[in-house]
A and B are shown apart, each in its own frame.
Chain A
Amino acid sequence: MRRIIAVALNTYRESIRDRVLYVLLFFALVVIIGSKAVGWISIGQDIKIVKDLSLAGISIFGALISIFIGTNLVYKEMDKRTVYTIISQPMPRYQFVVGKYVGLCLLIALMVGIMSVISGVYILILGGNINHWYFIACFLIFMKLLLVTALALLFSTLSSPILGAIMVFCFYVFGHATGIFLDLPPNLKDTMFEPVLKVLYYILPNFSNFDIRAEVVNGVPVSPWYVIYVTVYGIIYSLLFVYLAVIMFETKDV
């Protein structure tokens, strides 16, 4: 455990120096603050729009942070050869992979925390009200980002950061629209595509499960059981991808 914590804290220290992080954080804050401008267009709905765009900003820019830093996680260590003196230590390889993942998760938690608090305070300044459901929505976004980070970690052990980022981005986009794999147009029904798309529907993580934006913005109640279900769903998928990353790294020549 001590080794995992050491790798995690080191990864956190390393990632927090990444300039990409600050660029994305800056744009996220621009979207959150600038959402007021969009709010002016819709009379009387401005707070709803600010809330909606804030949560969307946290989700999208958090995902970009996960993708850009996550796909570099293991690859950068191999490319810069810092991994040589780490893997040659008396520690199993999985501890290195898990440590890298935990380190980035700490960073994601910090980023989501900063964006949530800033957007929350901003909504209060604008005269809106914030309840715990706003932060639960932020928490579910965080759970989604853990999953995206795990996926990015897996691709970091398999491919170059650019290819990895493209792949994770595709997963992210399709993961938000898995429903289309079942709602097939008539010309695709009973073709060879139907079973393939069905399999994809069940394999791909459904990222839209984590999205309770509309409910929170419109004050529609969300069942606590649903929050628990999505949290467990996110944890299971994340663990699966981290496990696959460990398996890939176990037999990898570094």
Chain B
Amino acid sequence: MERREIVLKTEGLSKRYPSLKRKNIFAVKDLSIEIKKGEVFGFLGRNGAGKTTTIKMICGLLIPTSGKIWINGIEGSSPESRKSLGYLPEQPYFYEYLTPEETINFYCKLRGMGSKDFSKEWERLSEILELKEISKIRIRNFSKGMRQKIGFAIALVGDPEFLILDEPMSGLDPIGRRHIRELILSLRDSGKTIFFSSHVLSDVEQLCDRVGVLTRGRLVAMGDIKEVLSQEISSVDVVFKKCPEILINEFSNSGHLIRRWEDYVHFKFDNMEVANSAVHRALEEFAKLVEFAPQKESLEEFFVRMQIKEGEESKTGKLYYSKLEE
């Protein structure tokens, strides 16, 4: 296996909130992950699973109850560790009275950059994110998509090699989502390491090299996206033309009738054997095969499978934990 530099490492990371009613409420418990240089890591979980808490601990906003964080080998408790880090919070908030140019200037100063560095940085960022046209407009007048652009610009100030994006597509329209997706892809191509959480699993599937699934504060699965998803065929979509009525009734019992239109009929079969025998039967009766599409497990199906499995395991008092790679 290729050995790559580790950009982020957490070891036994936990965050506990005090509660009067119950003894321990763990938002995150015993989280150990490693993110390698140049990879895009998707952090998945339902609302309240602990994704944002984890991200906030990595970014220095929350103090971990226990465990450690290293960013590029520097311990997370040191501000120095965040030199190589850019952070886009979920629904980023800004000083509304500032313009994008003033905002970037402010964050350049927080990164210890001088006026000359700011000019260069502004040029670079306004080119990547097309900010020139809106440079003099106050942020209070911006739409959600434009705000997200400013959030990205702040995350990219100082050209950090490691980016943490918390729900970067949240609340965006399809065009906005597409822009952000393209931006993430271009950042990946430029060698950035990206750690992002999202509910939009199709985006995660397209963008990520690896994923981790968090349930009730615990990492229940982590690994290469190809390894995580089951390689077995989960279903087969078959479309026939001019299929005799008697066969349609027969196939409705062995599979699922999805749709009928004109001369066409669409079935979904649970496995290859059933689908193959249906196709043989149909061809013998002179029906035409229009489409035969085996389906593998999608990330959404995998995610749901993990949630169900964890739910069952937690009822029995055991916690499912599968780590697909070292």
Contact = CB atoms under 8 A, between A and B. Distances in A.
B79 interface: yes
A84 B61 contact: yes
B40 interface: no
Nearest to A83: B61
A14 B95 contact: yes
Contacts of B109: 2-3, 5-6
B61 A88 contact: yes
Which one of B60, B62, B154 has the greatest number of beta carbons of chain A within 10 Å? B60
B63 interface: yes
B97 A14 contact: yes
B93 A13 contact: no
Contact of A81 (B93, B97, B112): B93
B95 A84 contact: no
Contacts of A17: 97
A84 B97 contact: no
A253 interface: yes
B324 interface: no
A13 B80 CA distance: 28
Nearest to A252: B63
B303 interface: no
B85 to A, nearest CB: 7
Contacts of B151: 85
A128 interface: no
Contacts, number: 76
Given A81-B89, A85-B89, A86-B110, A10 B60 contact: no
A91 B59 CA distance: 12
A interface bracket (residues with beta carbon within 8 Å of B): 20 to 34
Contact of B79 (A2, A5, A13, A91): A91
A38 interface: no
Contacts of B292: none
Interface in B141-194: 151, 154
A90 B97 contact: no
Contacts of A83: 61
B106 A6 contact: yes
Contact of B107 (A80, A89, A92, A254): A89
B59 A88 contact: yes
Which one of B59, B106, B110 has the greatest number of beta carbons of chain A within 10 Å? B110
Contact of A13 (B97, B114, B154): B97
Interface in A84-115: 84-93
Contact of B61 (A2, A82, A253): A253
B164 to A, nearest CB: 8
Contacts of A85: 87, 89, 92-94, 107, 151, 154
B83 interface: yes
A253 B62 contact: yes
B79 to A, nearest CB: 5
Nearest to B93: A81
Contacts of A5: 109
A89 B60 CA distance: 9
A218 interface: no
Nearest to A80: B93
Contact of B106 (A10, A81, A88, A251): A10
A233 to B, nearest CB: 33
Interface in B106-130: 106-107, 109-112, 114
A90 B162 CA distance: 13
B94 A3 contact: no
Contacts of B97: 13-14, 17
B80 A90 contact: yes
Nearest to A17: B97
Contacts of B83: 90
Contacts of A251: 63
Which one of B56, B79, B97 has the greatest number of beta carbons of chain A within 10 Å? B79
A88 B112 contact: no
Nearest to A253: B62
B111 A90 contact: yes
A201 to B, nearest CB: 35
A88 B97 CA distance: 21
Contacts of B60: 87-88
A58 B191 CA distance: 58
A89 B111 contact: yes
Contact of A89 (B62, B82, B94): B82
Nearest to B53: A253
Contacts of A89: 79, 82, 107, 110-111
A87 B59 contact: yes
21 contacts: A2-B114, A5-B109, A6-B109, A13-B97, A14-B97, A80-B93, A81-B89, A84-B89, A85-B92, A85-B151, A85-B154, A88-B59, A88-B85, A89-B79, A90-B81, A90-B112, A91-B79, A91-B112, A93-B79, A253-B62, A253-B63
Given A80-B93, A84-B93, A89-B79, 18 more contacts: A2-B109, A6-B106, A10-B95, A10-B106, A14-B97, A17-B97, A82-B95, A84-B61, A85-B93, A86-B110, A87-B60, A88-B82, A89-B110, A90-B80, A91-B112, A92-B79, A251-B63, A253-B56
* Top 5 A-B pairs, shortest CB-CB distance: A6-B109, A88-B59, A88-B87, A81-B93, A90-B82
